[in-house]
Structure 1
Amino acid sequence: MMETWPWQALLGGMMLGGSAVLLLLFNGRVAGISGIVAGILRPQPGEFSWRLLFLIGMVCAGWIVPLLGFALPQSLPVSSLGLLAVAGLLVGMGTKLANGCTSGHGICGMGRFSKRSLVATLVFMATAFATVFVRVHG
């Protein structure tokens, strides 16, 4: 696996970017997952079906990829459901504060040279680095 992972990462990145471009070209929408989910929770006329199909496609891809011969990354065991719930709430709060998520800012916003997305992505990455550092060394 280690010999092929750069190519798998490149292919995955190209697929993410390509899907974001297609959604923008054909639907005029940014592929920010938090915005797509928010549109399902508070649907606008004519917006619900494409958002639901987008999310179904994301979930189904996790089942389809192994059938195509690709391995999924191993998930880490959950040590505490309470900790998992707190982590989910913190991610949701951060998404709300940043006016978007990593997919919206990191993929779509950076591709549009958005200054706000650059700052948000730098904050996301710095937080991720700090979290890994504390988990490994703390």
Structure 2
Amino acid sequence: MSEINYLWPLAGGLLIGLSAGLYLLLNGRIAGVSGLTAAATGLSGGGINKLGLGFLAGIIAGAWLTSLLVREPHIAITSSLPLLVAAGLIVGYGTRLGSGCTSGHGVCGIARLSRRSLAATAIFMAVAGITVFVTRHLLGGQL
């Protein structure tokens, strides 16, 4: 692996942290993707939020621009569509149940030393580790 390959994640992490910090400083709100998606689609009450729409458009435009400037990503879907849909619904339900997602709790909440976010992020990470262990070692990676 070349040295430049280690810079991309560092740059991405810095940009995520910078954008989350600026969003909090300039708007007084947490930059959680699930909350902004709910606001952009009107699911959080109060109608469609233009700030949420702009945030989501920025995420999509940033990914598109990066793929043009850096390299074309190779995406390979290795699971069945019903499994992916079920997983997405479970993650969405958990996000609403936990009052936020990994970006809101993990990036913004931990930075603010929120106990609720520290606990939520610890649970996210523990469940992710258990899931990887079960699917790779107990189920043989057959999902």
Normalising by structure 1, what TM-score?
0.88
Tell me the distance in 1 between the aligned counterparts of 2:103 and 2:130. 20
CA contact (8 A) 1:78 1:84 kept: no
Task: Give the unaligned 5+ runs of structure 1.
Answer: none
Identity of aligned residues (%): 47
Displacement after TM superposition at 1:4 (Å): 2.8
Superposed, 1:64-75 pairs within 5 Å as 64-70=65-71, 72=73, 74-75=74-75
Displacement after TM superposition at 1:12 (Å): 0.7
Q: In the alignment, residue 33 of structure 1 is paired with which amino acid?
A: V
Displacement after TM superposition at 1:127 (Å): 1.1
Matching residue of 2:52: 51
CA distances 1:17-66 after superposition (whole Å, capped 9, x unpaired):
00001111111111001111111233537x71111011011111121002
Secondary structure of the residue aligned to 1:100 is: coil
Tell me the distance in 1 between the aligned counterparts of 2:88 and 2:113. 28
Displacement after TM superposition at 1:5 (Å): 3.0
Matching residue of 2:16: 16
Residue 60 in structure 1 maps to residue 58 in structure 2:
no
Change (3 A) 1:91 1:112: same
Q: Any runs of at least 4 consecutive aligned residues in structure 1 with deviations exceeding 3 A, and if so which?
A: none
Q: In the alignment, residue 39 of structure 2 is paired with which amino acid?
A: G
CA contact (8 A) 2:40 2:51 kept: no
| Greater RCO, 1 or 2 (C-alpha within 8 Å, sep 6+) | 1
Residue 121 in structure 1 maps to residue 126 in structure 2:
no
CA distances 1:102-135 after superposition (whole Å, capped 9, x unpaired):
0000000000000000010011111111111122
Displacement after TM superposition at 1:78 (Å): 4.2
Aligned residues: 136
Task: Give the unaligned 5+ runs of structure 2.
Answer: none
Q: In the alignment, residue 134 of structure 1 is paired with which amino acid?
A: V
Tell me the distance in 2 between the aligned counterparts of 1:2 and 1:76. 23
Residue 80 in structure 1 maps to residue 80 in structure 2:
yes
